[in-house]
Amino acid sequence: MKHLCFLLIALTIMINSCQNKTVEEQNPFFVDYDTEFKAPPFDLIKESHYLPAFKKGVEEQNKEIEAIVKNMQAPDFKNTIVAFDKSGELLTKVGSVFYNIKETDNNDELQSIAREVAPLMTKHRDNISMNMELFKRVKSVYDQRETLDLNLSQIRVVEKYYNDFVRNGAELSTEDQEKLKKLNAKLALLQLKFGENQLAETNENFQLIIDKEEDLAGLPEGVIEAAALTARQNGEEGKWMFTLQKPSLIPFLQYADNRALREKIYRGYFMRGNNNDEFDNKEIAIQMASIRADRAKLLGYDTHAGYVIDENMAKTPDKVYDFLNQLWVPALDKSKTELKEMQAIINAEGGDFELKSWDWWYYSEKLRKAKYDLDEAQIIPYFQLSNVRDGMFWVANQLYGVTFSSTDNVPLYNDEVEVFEVKEADGAHLGLLYLDYHPRNSKGPGAWCTGFRESITCDGVKTAPLVSIVCNFTKPTGDAPALLNFDEVSTLFHEFGHALHGLFTTGEYKRTAGVVPQDYVELPSQIMENWAAEPEVLKHFAKHYKTGEIIPDELIQKIQSSGHFNQGFATVEYLAASILDMDWHSLSAAQEVDDALLFEKESMDRIGLIDEIIPRYRTTYFGHIFDGGYAAGYYVYIWAEVLDADAFDAFKQSGDIFNPELAAKFRKHCLSECGEDEGMVQYMKFRGQEPTVDALLSKRGLN
């Protein structure tokens, strides 16, 4: 009987072992991807695979760190820096899928996993960055870096890792490290909650349902058809539904004659996260700003802004404020002129009211038509999404020789996604580009570029990157294909610039390959927007979706002439958000905020923001800074615009917007090797001089 018990126990252990092995073998993250281009097998990946992969990834990286620490050989570049740089491959593998899918196809189960993963990963990162034995080895290599026969790239990666450890608390006392870990853990969960609230408030918690046809007056037919389709998809047959997603919101604000309904939908938009319910973000924002201030103090900085910007091209918050103020005055003056012009239209039409924020889009469209004889509805039929996509591919081909060909043998994470193989001019495989165009209730708002695998060159062999562009553009309706407005055209070109940065990146080390200061990162994207508006480019892709007619010169001239139109508003709403971000993150640990809305109001009052314009992002839905990587960094878009305006000016001055010599230099210094030195150093290798704001002011018509 005793022997039988032992036999049963042994058999149970063996069965459990086999079952565990089977589960592990079935997890796609635990094996090499057996797909074309080794792309993620989205058709095989299930929610149940993520958490085990994260946990195993943590376990594996801990073993890799332990091996570095226990290495009996003296610390050197290979056994410490390179070994650390190569650690954590499984975590990178699962994270690059999980975090991206959570943004595009979120659901309750993914949110639940994220709540468990957030503290797990925060603790893991803290354990590494405050591992004193590991830091001692990194510091040893850092102290010897000038005598170890290292090249400049190797010295740079040593310095970056050393600085990372210091900035993440390696030199703090044990007591302060414990404080820092607690602050980081709180921040991770608050950030997650802020994002969940914003997603719900944007995609689920507001709908404008119209059941009277007269309330649609002024709206273009395509907008009406899209609203009818949205209503049908949500069980409201025979009605029209408008949402807070930009392709629905903005056309309604631009064209709807019903002023009360314009106010209703705009209030729904700017009150997100501010409705005193379970999705309210006011207290979360206050807590996050406070914790960031406390963390900055622990790490030796006066403010979180000082901590962040120390790593950027700007270097100090004062320089950022000075830069923003330099643009604020002319932008505010121009917005006031625009306001007077629109009020004059209201008065001329017999309107007995003062223009409000929900009126701006509507009357700016009237003003555009009056000043430039341009109605945006005139140009939208020329911007069929597939043609715009092919046009941006053509621009990249003219500049860099790369080609894009559709491929259908790669698994998709959603049936709406397209995938293109990218090749060099000589036919060599460069990478894959995923394109995800349209809104879904599961998808976050806005547009972004990310990746499922980054480019690293190891032993002379480059890992082909997998880059993804995600947007929220208007869907096809009825017999009409997806048609874009010009802002959406610019957005697609913008994100494509990020994609080219990812595709072209070269470098041997994860820490530096393609990694640039935060206020440089928008240069590759924003420069691409310039080509979108060039006549030569427009004539290539802007073709009427019904007739195939190339956009006429008259319309191109109107687009060009109206390039400065409404730039007072666009610049002011952006700068207001940038300054609001800086103010939240210029709080010291000693300063307390009791009321988020009052803090925001005082911030905007200080700069004289007019009532008719709201910051592009108010505090309670400012996802860039409370659920993204742009805290004390939202200013970077316009900082980089100084660079992109100056860089594109070089092409214009050369007389050839596709100048092959300049394109090759830009690719080499500003896209491929941009992580090899400081941002301005790399830019000057291309341009030969530092940029000034002159080209930006001219571009926006503010000078």
Q: Which residues are identified as catalytic?
A: 495
- Bridging pattern class, strands 448-453 and 466-470: antiparallel
Contact of 65 with 131, CB cutoff 8 Å: yes
Which tokens hold the place of 346? 């209201």
Q: Is 160 exposed, middle or buried (0-12, 13-18, 19+ CB in 10 A)?
A: middle
Alpha helices in 204-245 (DSSP H): 221-233
Give the separation between CA 701 and CA 668, rounded to whole angstroms: 31
Q: What residue has token string 């695979």?
A: 49
Alpha helices in 238-359 (DSSP H): 246-255, 259-270, 282-298, 304-309, 317-348
Question: How wide is the angle at C-alpha 260 spanned by C-alphas 254 and 266, nearest 5°?
Answer: 55
Contact of 228 with 240, CB cutoff 8 Å: yes
Contacts of 386 (CB under 8 A, 6+ apart): 481, 482
Nearest to 650 by CA among 527, 556, 557: 527
Nearest to 340 by CA among 358, 354, 329: 354
Alpha helices in 523-566 (DSSP H): 523-532, 535-541, 553-561
Distances (CA, A) of 587 to 160, 287, 520, 621: 27, 12, 25, 20
Which tokens hold the place of 598? 């009052």
Give the separation between CA 39 and CA 373, rounded to whole angstroms: 48
Give the separation between CA 405 and CA 227, rounded to whole angstroms: 33
Q: Helices 174-203 and 108-129, interaxial angle, to 10°?
A: 160
Eight-state DSSP code of residue 470: E
Q: Give the three-state DSSP class for 423.
A: strand
Which helix (H) or strand (E) is 466 found in, with range? Answer: strand 466-470
Q: What residue has token string 């092995």?
A: 21
Give the separation between CA 2 and CA 471, rounded to whole angstroms: 66
Rg (Cα) of the chain, in Å, rounded? 27
Sheet of 466-470, strand order:
403-406, 418-423, 429-436, 466-470, 448-453
Give the separation between CA 587 and CA 432, rounded to whole angstroms: 43
Strands, E assignment, 569-649:
none
Contact of 351 with 343, CB cutoff 8 Å: no
Q: What are phi and psi of 468, to 5 degrees?
A: -135, 135
Beta bridge partners of 92: none
Give the separation between CA 631 and CA 585, rounded to whole angstroms: 7
Which tokens hold the place of 237? 């047959």
Cα dihedral 474→479→481→482 (10° resolution): 0
